[in-house]
Amino acid sequence: MGIHVPSNVPMESTPFKGMEFEVDEIAYDYYNEYGRKASFSIRKEYVNKYKKTGVVTSRRFVCAKEGVHGKDKRDQNVKNPQAETRCGCETRLVIVLNQDSKKYVVSEFITEHNHCLHLPSTVHMMPSQRKVAATHAIEIDLTHDNLGFTKQDHKNYLCTKRQRDMEHGAAASLGRYFSCQLKENPSYYFTTQLDCEELITNIFWADARMIIDYSHFGDVITFDTTYGTNRDARPLGVFLGLNHHKETVVFGGALLYDETTESFVWLFETFLKAMSEKKPITIFTDQDAAMSAAIKVVMSKTYHALCSWHMWQNAEKQLGHLLKNDSQFNTDFLAYIYEYDNKYDEKWAQAYVKRNFTTRMKTTQFSESFNANLKDCLRTDLNIVEFFTHFETIVNQKRDKELEAKYNSRQKFPSLKLKSSPMLNQVATVYTPKLFDLFQAEVEEVMTLSILERNVSQTHSYVVGVFNQYGKYEVIKFESFGILCRHGLKVLDRWRRDAKDGSGKNCTTHNIKPDTRLEYSASTSSASHQEGSSASVALASHLESISIVVGSNDKINGAGGLLTQGSDASRGPLTQESFTSGWNEMVHKVKPFF
């Protein structure tokens, strides 16, 4: 695993041999604080005491990954075996009681670790750091035991707050919200679409983290508008994907006035503009015809796949009697969707979806999951600012999941089923745990395969059979040399543990400045990010265009929150004052979303 020595820890915070402590617990607290700054967890290994007095004579504090766990005594076939968290790390601090001074002296201090250290953004998850501070405990107790107000007081306060937030109308409130976002991070991107009456119809937004995430994981995305946000059922559109931990990641959101092809064309063009024109390889949607038509216009080279779950739901509605009463029809229909021998080239057939990179995605179900989470904290009486606040909350919950996955990838070691396999041992350190589990399962399945036929005359094709199963599979990869090509190997980088290290360094985004409210790993402070992006937003020109008279079927763009490469920066940087004055011109020009 290599040697890892904590860095960037101030000398005054680092223990040393000969260091003295009045009490052994003070020594533990000091070493635990050092572990927090160095990004590793500690634990108490042993203590020696005088038998008569109980006075501690020596103690050893070690890295939490010291030693190894005993063999799991449960059944070997247990579905979820206990994860291994120790690797024999020898980092430790030993203190011994000095009989003369009655103080505890550091007699041994080892700094080298044989494992990767945790990220600064996940240190709060380490066992030795997970504690409730006294000040927080007081707040919790006060909140739990004595709120100081009644439920009606709480209701009245929220009602007053809503009225205060919306006293200048929806457009002004939305303008203030976007103004705050731009103030906190100039790389926040938003844009609106106006109709011929200069009323805001559609809105798209993406924060800096969404743009950076898309640059890494925007190869396969899902998009749907199955969830309405208010009593008027205005559709909410969310662009989602999967990161290297196979966790849901959000790329952007949209509030739409309608679901016409024209609106979707505007939205997809806007989305790609925000993402530096990087088109996804595959997009999953439901069966909306207008959406499908817009994808053909804007992303003609992107593979458009239909959600198989939606296909099944529609089949139950339209063909329920056949699915229920005709077992053969049921079998055939499932085969058309999921089996590889389907002869019909359909967007929902697994045989043809498999020809494209999909990250093993088959449905938009995690879009449904995101919408369900959002629905839990939304009501029909919410105003637009409250909606955006709740949306941020759900997005942050998804990001917390990624942070937890990052922590677990360093805290827990994959369970190797073939411990002597050099390949698996190496891959386990490179790829994220979820991808490694899938990879290991494929390696296991190799044992059940056999090559039945070879054809090396032209295409180097192979016919492969599975033991004790019917069916044959033709493999025509590895065309000329017999090994996986560089392009196939490169795709696997998507699933590396360090897929996001140095976020932005190799991105195809604009010079995006990470959100200042988010804790990134130290690598995100690379030069490419430190340069950031100018707050010079071409908002003034957008606002000027509002006064132009357009045709009855034309729609024009509203304000944007990001200066793209090549935009006219001569207008100077956008200040919060200029943004507010510009937006105020449109205060009453918004169609009622809420």
- In the prediction, which pLDDT does 38 show? 95
For residue 586, CA distances in Å to 166, 218, 386, 462, 594 come to 15, 33, 20, 65, 17
Question: What pLDDT shows up at residue 195?
Answer: 77
How far is Cα 262 from Cα 239, in angstroms, rounded to an integer? 18
Q: What is the pLDDT of residue 27?
A: 96
What is the full DSSP assignment across 218-260? TTEEEEEEEEE-STT-PEEEEEEEE-TTS-EEEEEEEE-S---
Please tell me the pTM assigned to this model: 0.72
CB atoms within 10 A of CB 284: 29
The continuous run of DSSP H or E covering 190 comes out as strand 189-194
For residues 51 and 462, give the distance between their C-alpha atoms in angstroms, rounded to a whole number.
74
pLDDT in tens for each of the 594 residues of the chain?
678 988 878 888 899 999 999 999 999 999 999 999 999 999 999 999 999 999 999 999 999 999 987 766 655 666 666 778 999 999 999 999 999 999 999 999 999 999 999 999 999 999 999 876 666 666 666 555 655 556 555 555 555 554 555 445 667 778 888 888 988 888 999 998 887 777 778 999 999 999 999 999 999 999 988 665 544 557 889 999 999 998 899 999 998 888 899 999 999 999 999 999 999 999 988 878 899 999 999 999 998 888 766 666 666 666 776 766 666 777 766 666 655 555 545 555 454 555 566 666 665 566 667 767 777 655 556 677 788 888 898 999 999 999 999 999 999 888 888 888 888 888 888 889 888 888 888 888 888 888 888 876 666 677 888 877 777 777 766 555 556 666 666 777 888 888 887 544 445 555 677 664 544 333 333 333 333 332 223 333 333 333 222 222 333 333 333 333 333 333 344 444 555 555 555 444 455 544
Helix, strand or coil, per DSSP, at residue 42: strand
